[in-house]
A and B are shown apart, each in its own frame.
Chain A
Amino acid sequence: MGIFSSETKEQIAPNRSKREVCWNSRDKYLDCLEKNNIDNPLDDKYAKVLKDKCSKESSNFDQNCAKSWVHYFKEKYVVDLKKERFLKEMEAKGGKELPFPIKRG
């Protein structure tokens, strides 16, 4: 990398079709996580299950997406899952939605 780092080579961002490919492999990967109850793919606790059950999806995901994207989507999965569970828990406890919409990002 040291030789190339001085180069002013432009990094063209993934275009629509490349994004599509990445998102598809991401969805497959996340489906696999869900199926195998892997709550946090970044946690070492799940490393073994991940390797046993989702290695194919994982390598596809890594291959089709940039490294930063892979990390971002994994983090996002954890956060979204927590949010979803929290909302479900609140609902089970009799919580009600606010009368005005708060759109979640």
Chain B
Amino acid sequence: MLKLIPKRSLTQKPLLLYRGSLRANFSTSFVRLNESNPITPPSESHKPRKPLSRIPIGGSTTQSQKLNSSGNIEFASWKAAVLMAVTGGVLYYFFSSEKKRLQVQQDAESNRGYGRPLVGGPFTLIDSEGKEFTQENLKGKFSIVYFGFTHCPDICPDELDKLGSWLSQLKKEGYEIQPIFITCDPARDTPNVIKEYLSDFHPSIIGLTGTYEQVKDCCKQYRVYFSTPENVKPGQDYLVDHSIFFYLMDSDGEFIDALGRNYDNETGPLRIKEQIDAFIPKKEREKKKQSGWSLF
């Protein structure tokens, strides 16, 4: 590979050395050339010759060298090409996958927010067995939180069916996620009603409810809009308007991403896997920040 460097420097060096003397003698030699008499005085002829100054620049010597070196290039090229293709390919793959991973990480980081989390936070509700369920129960595993109500005509059942399919897909690939259904309609959705309702869906879904205040607080934490008609009498038939998102929470119980209805059976699990793979626990993130790696 070193042979690729041409040996021109050998011929160029003396040329540069003589250039000074060439310039100094230029005026005299110019006069001499114009003289009709080519015979130079004997004292002058004994002066040392300047052989290299006569080598034409780009003349035969350099040309032969060029040919020579071009042969070297051809000889080394197939090895170089293979090496370049292999290292280039490996590097390209590495950097593009790394870039993707970092991008997802940054997305998650910006969604997580600084200081107070934008979405998510402490809440206290009860599950369908009547046991208390708080933000602490989110810790240690990834969770998907969905807000809805059991008397939902078409969207919630569709979304919960979709969630079920995501969960089985993810479980097949070794991703364990805790799915949570939180009702926006605590007046009708008692633990028992939710239990009954969720029995139609994926068995791992945890249904949560609480008092109206508790549910309202929780919805506020998750920035969920919901509206129950005012002055609802017991036994009355009504619908609840609410926002439709799946909230992906990390194992620290913090918000990572919100998945809307546009995520289908393919893109949903893909996005969740991406997020989980790129996830760095809070402790490690803080360690990185302290050691100045956060810029990276």
- Chain A residues near B (Cβ < 8 Å): 1, 4-16, 19, 23, 65-69, 72-73, 101, 103, 105
| CB-defined contacts of B193 to chain A, threshold 8 Å | 10-13
How distant is B209 from chain A, measured CB to nearest CB, in Å?
Answer: 12
**B153, B200, B262: the one within 8 Å of A15 (CB):** B200
| CB-defined contacts of B197 to chain A, threshold 8 Å | 12-13, 15
How distant is A102 from chain B, measured CB to nearest CB, in Å?
Answer: 8
Instruction: Report yes or no: B233 in contact with A5, Cβ–Cβ below 8 A.
Output: yes
Which residues of chain B in 147-181 are interfacial with respect to chain A, using CB atoms and an 8 Å cutoff? 150-155, 157
How distant is A86 from chain B, measured CB to nearest CB, in Å?
Answer: 20
| CB-defined contacts of A14 to chain B, threshold 8 Å | 151
- What is the CA–CA distance of A72 and B150 in the complex, to the nearest angstrom? 15
Instruction: Report yes or no: B261 in contact with A16, Cβ–Cβ below 8 A.
Output: no
How distant is B198 from chain A, measured CB to nearest CB, in Å?
Answer: 10
Instruction: Report yes or no: A4 in contact with B235, Cβ–Cβ below 8 A.
Output: yes
Instruction: Report yes or no: B192 in contact with A10, Cβ–Cβ below 8 A.
Output: yes
Instruction: Report yes or no: B239 in contact with A13, Cβ–Cβ below 8 A.
Output: no
Using A11-B193, A15-B200, A66-B237 as known contacts, list a sample of 8 further A-B pairs with CB atoms less than 8 Å apart, ordered by residue number in A: A1-B235, A11-B235, A13-B193, A14-B151, A15-B197, A68-B239, A73-B154, A103-B260
* Chain B residue with the shortest CB-CB distance to A102: B262
- Chain B residues near A (Cβ < 8 Å): 150-155, 157, 188-190, 192-193, 196-197, 199-200, 233-235, 237-239, 244, 260-262
* Chain B residue with the shortest CB-CB distance to A101: B262
| CB-defined contacts of A16 to chain B, threshold 8 Å | 157, 200
Instruction: Report yes or no: B244 in contact with A105, Cβ–Cβ below 8 A.
Output: yes
- What is the CA–CA distance of A7 and B235 in the complex, to the nearest angstrom? 9
A selection of 26 A-B contacts at a CB cut-off of 8 Å is A1-B235, A4-B235, A5-B235, A7-B235, A10-B193, A11-B193, A11-B235, A13-B150, A13-B152, A13-B189, A13-B193, A15-B196, A15-B199, A16-B157, A16-B200, A19-B157, A66-B237, A69-B239, A72-B153, A72-B239, A73-B153, A73-B154, A101-B262, A103-B260, A103-B261, A105-B261
- What is the CA–CA distance of A36 and B192 in the complex, to the nearest angstrom? 43
- What is the CA–CA distance of A1 and B260 in the complex, to the nearest angstrom? 40
